[in-house]
Amino acid sequence: MINKLVFENLKHRPVRTALSILAIGVEVTMMLTLVGLSRGMLADVARRARGVGADIVVRPPGTSLIGLSSAPMSEKMVDFLRRQPHVTHAVGSMTHPLSGVTTITGVDLREFDEISGGFKYLDGGPIRNRDEILVDNFYARQNNLRAGSTLYLLNRNWRVAGVVEEGKLARLVIPLDVLQDLTANPGRISQVWVKVDHPANVPKVIASLKEKLPGYPIYSMEELTSLISVNNVPGLKAFITVIVALAIVVGFLVVFLSMYTAVLERTREIGILKALGASPFYILDILFRETLLLALAGTLLGILFSYLTRWVIMSWAPASLTQMIVPDWWGIAGAIALAGALLGASYPGWRAARQDPIEALAYE
């Protein structure tokens, strides 16, 4: 019975109801998109690292896990690592930031082909000249590139030699020495990818490398990919927290306003219910159920919207942004939205619950 009243109330003001649901939906989408983007982009980084086909990664001392800047390690490290027992391949690569989240990677292409089994070319072929570049299919799609297209990066024009299947090393790849020259970093690299003769020997090799290279972060590939997470990116967690807090405030304000106007508008009806003997709890129950319904519908809408934002992102900026769908956050985002909404409904609810029925009935 009470549900019928709640339902009729929501139906009675369809625009207000729709706007409340929409606002909560946007709130939930904000959270899901942000978390999905963080995770998606990190998963991309991890996937491309795995795509190299190495077993171990050696990074320069004092660098953060996903810090992509500069080339602080000497190329000599590659030869040193190649000479270690059980090591079959060692390839140095240099990552240079371009703009935003985009980076360009330099690597010795012949050595990289050996360790990784080579790129899969979807269009064009390998690099033959120093002014040629490889782009992956996402970057190509986002920037309308094909083999033979011209691309302006690092203050010069490049010819796209080939479009490769994404998921290996980087989205933009040029020869290592070209990148070193262009960025005035001769002989320097950002990390070394190491392949071992047998997977069983990975722990042994890591242990001996750690002894010989104190201070160098050395990770197995599993370790590296598991460390690439929201918690290990400096500031990301705080950023997500801030956005979630903002989302709560938005949800709170919208529901507050919506319920506040609903309570004012229904002064008389609340008075009638009270005259019929409804307790304050009964009135609160009605309003909280309405709020619950709004939050639930808003959460569902927000989940649907997160598919929409993913679709938009994947069709407009697949190379710069990747959004994952994060079902484990559906409940969390829903609970957060509900908490904000209930908080927003509590002051209007309190006002409604303590309304004097005689005054309310005299209210026009």
Partner 1 sequence: MSENPIIRVRDLRKVYRVGEVEVHALRGVNLDVPRGEFLCVAGPSGSGKSTLFHILGGLLAPTSGAVFVDGHDLSRLSDSERTALRRRMVGFVFQKFNLLPTLTAADNIAIARHIAGRSLDHDPWFRQVLDLLGIADRLHHKPSKLSGGEQQRVAIARAIVNHPAILLADEPTGNLDSQNSAAVLRVLRDLNERLGQTILLITHDPVVASYAHRVVRMLDGRIVDDTG
Binding site for partner 1 (CB under 8 A): 1-2, 4-5, 8-9, 11-12, 268-269, 272-279, 282, 357-358, 361
- Of 146 and 354, CB closest to partner 1: 354
Nearest to 123 by CA among 157, 168, 159, 160: 160
Residue for token digits 């307790």?
A: 279
- Measured distance CA(50)–CA(93) in Å, rounded: 14
CB of 277 to partner 1, least distance (A): 3
Other C-beta atoms lying within 10 Å of the C-beta of residue 196: 22
Report yes or no: 160 and 133 within 8 Å, Cβ to Cβ.
yes
CB of 264 to partner 1, least distance (A): 15
Report yes or no: 60 and 81 within 8 Å, Cβ to Cβ.
no
- Of 96 and 266, CB closest to partner 1: 266
For residue 197, which phi and psi values (nearest 5 degrees)? Answer: -65, -35
| Pair of tokens at residue 349 | 């609810």
Report yes or no: 118 and 51 within 8 Å, Cβ to Cβ.
no
- Of 11 and 156, CB closest to partner 1: 11
CA distances to 86, 141, 158, 160, 323 from 118, in Å: 22, 21, 21, 17, 27
- Of 1 and 238, CB closest to partner 1: 1
CB of 350 to partner 1, least distance (A): 15
- Of 173 and 360, CB closest to partner 1: 360
For residue 220, which phi and psi values (nearest 5 degrees)? Answer: -75, 165
CB of 330 to partner 1, least distance (A): 32
Q: Which run of H or E residues covers position 51? A: helix 14-51
- Of 10 and 54, CB closest to partner 1: 10
CB of 296 to partner 1, least distance (A): 20
| Pair of tokens at residue 156 | 């010069």
- Of 8 and 211, CB closest to partner 1: 8
- Of 4 and 83, CB closest to partner 1: 4
Q: Are strands 121-124 and 132-136 parallel, antiparallel or unpaired?
A: unpaired
Residue 54 three-state SS: coil
CB of 285 to partner 1, least distance (A): 11
Query: CA-based angle 338:344:346, to the nearest 5?
Result: 100
CB of 249 to partner 1, least distance (A): 31
Residue for token digits 């949800």?
A: 251
CB of 274 to partner 1, least distance (A): 7
CA distances to 139, 155, 158 from 132, in Å: 15, 14, 5
CB of 349 to partner 1, least distance (A): 17
Report yes or no: 96 and 183 within 8 Å, Cβ to Cβ.
yes
- Of 184 and 276, CB closest to partner 1: 276
